[in-house]
Amino acid sequence: MSIQNISFDGVTLLFDFDVNNPNRFGVSADQYSYEFFINDNSFLSGTQQENIRISRESSSVVQVPVSLNFSDVFSTFTSLVRRDSLSYKIATEVQFDIPGLGRQRVPVSTAGELPIPRMPRIEFSGLNVRNLSLSGAEIDLGFRVSNPNSFGISLSNAAYVFRVNGREWLDTRLGDRIRIGGSQSDTITIPVRLNASQMGSVLLDLIGGSTQFDYNLSGSANISAELEGFQDGGTIPFDVSGRHTTN
């Protein structure tokens, strides 16, 4: 089995079955059928029309592609929503025309494990005020990226907007590539200099000693993954809102 392509939305698999013809005459088939199981439950099946011809005393390969949409998988198997992988089995059957014997069924099956990619989590982790005056402030903004997958991922060209109490504090793009190992997280710290008009009433609250404010972090980033068949260049959006208290 090889993974032709995989993303957070779905996967296309290609199963190669070697067929050996030991006879002194050729055999042929015009179709094959297959049934695909997830966690021992039948999920999809089909019949593919394909002209298969195997010469005498030779071998050939029968290729069976299978495409899965993860939203369909999760709606059928809710227990997989938080899982890192699923168990699969595929059973195929080719009916060959064999001289003197007629149509003969040749079944074969295989099983294994398939990874389920999960979206990374991006969240606001807080701010640190380094310098504060009536004219503005120098602040370190922290954003935390968590990778729930067993394999590493990388984010690049992250573009985002950060708003506080409805005011836009930051609209920028990160050029650095950020790698997060499997089942790990990392905090990105961004130094920001803001003037009084940008901060609005939050500046006076900070000077007063404490504040509680509403924030919104929205944007997107390019993502790649250290996983066979993952198509680099995909974009993930994020939009996180909440309330933060600074003392």
**Angle formed at CA 89 by CA 73 and CA 231, multiple of 5 degrees:** 55
Q: Which CATH class is domain 121-230?
A: mainly beta
| Alpha-carbon dihedral angle through residues 18, 23, 26, 32, given to the nearest 10 degrees | -40
- Domain ranges for the chain, please list them: 2-115, 121-230
Average pLDDT over residues 187-203: 90
The domain 2-115: what is its CATH number? 2.60.40.10
Average pLDDT over residues 21-43: 93
pLDDT more than 70, % of the chain: 99
- Tokens 């779905």 belong to 10
- Beta strands of 99-204 (E only): which ranges? 102-115, 121-133, 136-146, 153-164, 167-174, 178-180, 185-195
pTM value is: 0.81
For residue 231, name the pLDDT band (cuts at 50, 70, 90).
Answer: confident
* Structure confidence at residue 208 (pLDDT): 84
Look at the alpha carbons of 154, 156, 159, 161 in this order and tell me if their dihedral is positive or negative: positive
Integer Cα distance of 138 and 197 in angstroms: 14
Average pLDDT over residues 121-142: 91
CA distances from 239 to 85, 216, 218 (A): 26, 7, 4
The token pair that represents 105 in the structure block = 């069924």
Q: How does pLDDT run across 69-122, given as a tens digit for each residue?
A: 999 999 999 999 889 999 999 999 999 988 888 888 989 999 999 999 999 999
For residue 205, name the pLDDT band (cuts at 50, 70, 90).
Answer: confident
* Structure confidence at residue 247 (pLDDT): 66
Average pLDDT over residues 19-25: 91
Q: Check for a shared fold between 2-115 and 121-230.
A: yes
How many other CB atoms are there within 10 angstroms of residue 158's CB atom?
23
